[in-house]
């Protein structure tokens, strides 16, 4: 497996779609369509991303701050002595905010039922996407009969290059915005509270200087690398092959590259310029980055206002299985906290 490592090399490959193409289909075990615009190259990528940009721009997301804050307060004020953060706070916050942004509050309960990873794993450890397939078909069938102006309603009527989107293209775009920014933001929120439980100096500083929260969140995105790697088709290696040969862009290696980031294994509140690739890089950088940052900022502001300190309980399930970076949690299956108001 070809893994591209280091800040400079990952940036170079991420820009070079002629040699490292995004024209692929991932998750073939659970879907038979591409996530769009993630899994296409220009010019289709540009046209498809332009359909979503108005919903995820910094200004568009910012107008929802009062509603996001109300959601966060409602969740956080319901916690008293203990809380399981990944589901009861992070996932709930994420899906409820999506309901606001997408204009589909009626779907929030179903989205939450899928869990942090969207795909459901059965008792034999096999993933499936039957629930998502049923949801997408039902949703777009209803929109054909009763058009709306919410996000999916707009996609259902959208055109690119003078033609209507196909049903599979609609599924691909809906899939991306439902699955993306889900487990990754759960990890960001959970990881932030995990770190502050273990670093009282940072906790006290953020409580007295909440203006440092955006920099702290930026640093946690770098340190955690919520999406550690992403694959591309290695065009040269695939030539004359029956199956695509993939190259993996290692964002986590870029975020731990000591040639561009001083003492990258440390979490610092004074890092300043932070050239991380935690949201990807180039034309395929995370379209939901502004949403993720605002959701996390509001959660941390409201959390710090309510709780004095907290500790990680022993029944929490954290995984540290990045081979080269054992000090970075790879996943928070659950984060159980004891709370002090």
Tell me: pLDDT of 303 over 90: yes
- Note the Cα 48 to chain centre separation in Å: 19
Q: What is the pLDDT of residues 116-158, one digit of tens each?
A: 988 888 777 888 899 999 999 999 999 999 999 999 999 999 9
The average pLDDT across 231-235 equals 96
What CATH number should be reported for the domain whose range is 2-26+41-340?
A: 1.10.630.10
Cross-strand bridge partners of residue 332: 318
Q: Do the beta carbons of residue 85 and residue 311 sit within 8 Å?
A: no
- Which residues are bridge partners to 230 per DSSP? 249
Residue 266: both structure tokens together: 């440390």
Mean pLDDT of 88-98: 98
Query: What residues contact residue 273 under an 8 Å CB cut-off, 6+ apart?
Result: none
Q: Which two tokens stand for residue 158?
A: 């959208």
Average pLDDT over residues 75-87: 97
Return phi, psi of residue 8, to 5°.
-65, -45
* Residue carrying the six token digits 């609609």: 170
Query: What is this structure's pTM?
Result: 0.96
Residue 274 predicted with pLDDT over 90 = no
Within its chain, how far is the Cα of 78 from the centroid? Answer: 25
Which tens digit of pLDDT belongs to each residue from 162-182? 999 999 999 999 999 999 889
Q: What is the DSSP string of 184-206?
A: HHHHHHHHHHHHHHH-HHHHHHH
Q: What is the pLDDT of residue 306?
A: 96
Instruction: Name the pairing type of β-strands 159-160 and 336-340.
Output: unpaired
Task: Find, among 256, 255, 282, 287, the residue nearest to 22 by Cα.
Answer: 282
- Residue-wise pLDDT tens digits, 3-50: 999 999 999 999 999 999 999 999 999 999 999 999 999 999 999 999
- H and E: helices and strands count for the chain: 16, 13
* Cross-strand pairs, 310: 339
Letter string b/e over residues 50-62, b meaning 16 or more CB atoms within 10 A of that residue's CB = ebbeebbeeeebe
Question: What's the pLDDT at 120?
Answer: 83
Cα 236 to Cα 239: distance, rounded to the nearest angstrom: 5
pLDDT at residue 138 in the model: 98
Is 212 in a helix, a strand, or coil? helix
pLDDT bin (cut points 50, 70, 90) of residue 68 is very high
pLDDT at res. 240: 87
Q: Which residue has the tokens 């970076």?
A: 325
Torsion of CA 315, 316, 321, 326, to 10 degrees: -100
Query: Per the structure block, which two tokens stand in for 248?
Result: 């993996």
pLDDT given at position 246: 96
| Mean pLDDT for the chain overall | 95
């Amino acid at each position: 497996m070809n893994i591209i490592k280091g800040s400079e090399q990952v940036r170079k490959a991420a820009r070079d779609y002629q040699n490292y193409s995004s024209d692929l289909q991932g998750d073939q075990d659970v879907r038979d369509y591409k996530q769009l615009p993630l899994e296409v190259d220009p010019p289709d990528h540009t046209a498809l991303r332009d359909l979503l940009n108005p919903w995820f721009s910094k200004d568009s997301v910012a107008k929802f701050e009062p509603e996001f804050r109300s959601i966060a307060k409602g969740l956080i004020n319901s916690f008293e002595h203990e809380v399981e953060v990944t589901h009861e706070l992070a996932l709930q916050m994420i899906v409820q905010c999506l309901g606001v942004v997408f204009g589909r509050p009626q779907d929030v309960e179903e989205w939450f039922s899928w869990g942090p990873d969207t795909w459901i794993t059965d008792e034999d450890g096999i993933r499936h996407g039957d629930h998502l397939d049923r949801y997408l078909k039902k949703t777009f069938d209803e929109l054909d009969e009763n058009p709306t102006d919410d996000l999916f309603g707009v996609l259902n009527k959208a055109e690119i290059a003078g033609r209507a989107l196909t049903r599979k293209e609609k599924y691909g775009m809906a899939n991306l915005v439902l699955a993306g920014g889900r487990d990754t933001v759960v990890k960001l929120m959970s990881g932030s509270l995990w770190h502050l439980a273990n670093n009282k100096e940072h906790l006290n500083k953020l409580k007295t200087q909440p203006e440092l929260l955006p920099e702290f969140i930026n640093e946690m995105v770098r340190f955690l690398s919520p999406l550690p790697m992403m694959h591309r088709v290695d065009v040269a290696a695939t030539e004359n092959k029956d199956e695509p040969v993939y190259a993996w862009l290692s964002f986590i290696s870029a975020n731990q590259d000591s040639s561009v980031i001083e003492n990258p294994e440390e979490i610092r509140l004074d890092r300043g310029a932070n050239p991380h690739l935690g949201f990807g890089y180039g034309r395929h950088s995370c379209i939901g980055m502004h949403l993720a940052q605002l959701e996390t900022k509001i959660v941390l502001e409201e959390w710090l206002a309510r709780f004095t300190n907290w500790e990680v309980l022993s029944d929490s399930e954290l995984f540290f299985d990045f081979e080269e970076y054992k000090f970075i949690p790879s996943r928070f299956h659950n984060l159980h906290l004891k709370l002090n108001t």
